[in-house]
């Protein structure tokens, strides 16, 4: 099952539409999307506007891949559960976000090799078509690294930021 999630605060019709059209053109009936306050009505995938945090986690657990906006909750949950995740960042220039912080988030996780990033609808379709080539994903640890803890501790105690 492919799980698509756009978060709960604003719609991301561009992502939902792209996956809906992809599913129709590939005759996929195994796609479920949490669409938030969407204006787009999907015709070829199952959708629900909102799901509870418990249902969200269970759905990620049962998914073979997660497709999401570049929201930290979606990314971290997928990585924690060892799931492949394709992210398509919201873009401020398209009125999908106030700023482009999701571009920065996607770039950082992609540089670590933890997510696959689709910059636009065409790239998303290409990434979805390559699902069979995805390699195993290591689970993200449930605890912060000692370096991160030391950096935060130093900052809290001294007000100084030090790189590990």
Q: Give the tens place of pLDDT for each residue, 73-106.
A: 899 899 999 999 999 998 867 776 777 778 788 8
Domain positions in the chain: 2-137
> What's the CATH number for 2-137?
3.40.50.2000
Calculate the alpha carbon distances from 31 to 38, 113, 146 in Å.
17, 25, 38
Q: Give the tens place of pLDDT for each residue, 45-76.
A: 999 999 999 999 999 999 999 999 988 889 98
Q: Give the tens place of pLDDT for each residue, 121-143.
A: 999 999 999 987 775 676 776 66
**Alpha carbon distance 139, 81 (integer Å):** 6
Residue carrying structure tokens 């699902």? 131
Q: What global pTM score does this model have?
A: 0.82
**Alpha carbon distance 81, 3 (integer Å):** 13
Q: What is the pLDDT of residue 56?
A: 96
């Amino acid at each position: 099952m492919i799980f698509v999630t756009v978060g709960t605060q604003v719609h991301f019709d561009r992502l939902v539409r792209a996956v809906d059209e992809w599913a129709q053109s590939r005759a996929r009936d195994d796609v479920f999307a949490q669409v938030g306050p969407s204006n787009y009505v999907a015709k070829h995938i199952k959708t629900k506007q909102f799901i509870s945090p418990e249902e969200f986690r269970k759905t990620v657990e049962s998914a073979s891949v997660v497709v999401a906006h570049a929201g930290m909750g979606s990314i971290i949950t997928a990585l924690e559960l060892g799931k492949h995740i394709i992210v398509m960042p919201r873009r401020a220039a398209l009125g999908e976000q106030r700023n482009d912080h999701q571009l920065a988030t996607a770039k950082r996780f992609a540089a670590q090799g933890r997510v696959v990033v689709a910059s636009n609808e065409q790239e998303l379709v290409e990434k979805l078509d390559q699902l069979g080539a995805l390699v195993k994903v290591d689970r993200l640890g449930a605890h912060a690294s000692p370096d991160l803890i030391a950096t935060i501790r130093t900052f809290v105690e001294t007000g100084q930021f030090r790189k590990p």
